[in-house]
Amino acid sequence: MNIILLGPPGAGKGTQARRLVEERGMVQLSTGDMLRAAKSSGTEMGKQVAAVMERGDLVTDEIVIGLIAEQLDQGAGEKGIIFDGFPRTLAQADALGELLAARGSKLDAVVEMKVDADALVSRITGRFTCDNCGEVYHDTTKPLSVEGKCDKCGGTSFTRRADDTEEALRNRLMVYYRDTAPLIGYYYAHKSLRSIDGLGEIEEVAGRVKSALAS
């Protein structure tokens, strides 16, 4: 089963994607994670996108479509793929349909996670990530069980994202509503859209994702 998790910054796409990976053995393809990896390993492309990401603007369609095509060519996702943070423009959505069709595959569902702007701000400004395993935490809604130690891997070093400032977030939200929200209509027209309430406990939202995928 190939699915898209669609929603604004902080909607919980990454959090729910990681659960689906653990529970179902699906593969998570996050263009945000791929771009951050390119940035931290200092590749040419990483250097090129760093400032764009820090502002909260979109990287070019060409770059992100290339990243996804590369993963699909390497055979990602026999048990299904979760597209997280991709597609983000109509051109990316068209490209994804074509990339999957060319490989004899297709998209099965698009889960739209709805969260209001106030909740997004507090989610994003409280987020931090384990440097070792990538587990995502939150100061109040998902704190560490033991101070200073990752629950998953015992790691002791954590990072806050450069684009998780209030200013960058304002821009990311504007960009989401301008460039990405039109995909809701696009996938509604393709009959693959399932919208869920993304507010509530992580566990509760996971239950809604599960029901949406079963429907």
Q: Could you confirm whether 152 is annotated as catalytic?
A: no
Question: What is the full DSSP assignment across 14-75?
Answer: HHHHHHHHHHH--EEEEHHHHHHHHHHTT-HHHHHHHHHHHHTPPPPHHHHHHHHHHHHHTT
Site string for ligand AP5, 145-164 (x = CB under 6 A): ------------------x-
Q: Could you confirm whether 161 is annotated as catalytic?
A: yes
Q: Detail the residues annotated as belonging to a binding site.
A: 10-15, 31, 36, 57-59, 85-88, 92, 127, 130, 133, 136-137, 150, 153, 161, 172, 200
CB 145 within 8 A of CB 151: yes
Angle between helices 90-102 and 61-73 (to 10 degrees): 20
**Strand pairing category for 3-6 and 81-84:** parallel
Q: Could you confirm whether 88 is annotated as catalytic?
A: yes
Element (H, E) at 156: none
The active-site residue out of 18, 19, 39, 88 is: 88
Number of residues forming the site for ligand AP5 (CB under 6 A): 37
> Which of 205, 208, 209, 212: binder of ligand AP5 (CB under 6 A)?
205
Cis peptide before 8 (omega within 30 of 0): no
User: Could you list the residues that contact ligand AP5 (CB under 6 A)?
Assistant: 7, 9-15, 31-32, 35, 52-53, 56-59, 64, 85-86, 88, 92, 123-124, 126-127, 136-138, 141-142, 163, 172, 200-202, 205
User: Could you list the residues that contact Zn ion (CB under 5 A)?
Assistant: 130, 132-133, 135, 150, 152-153, 155
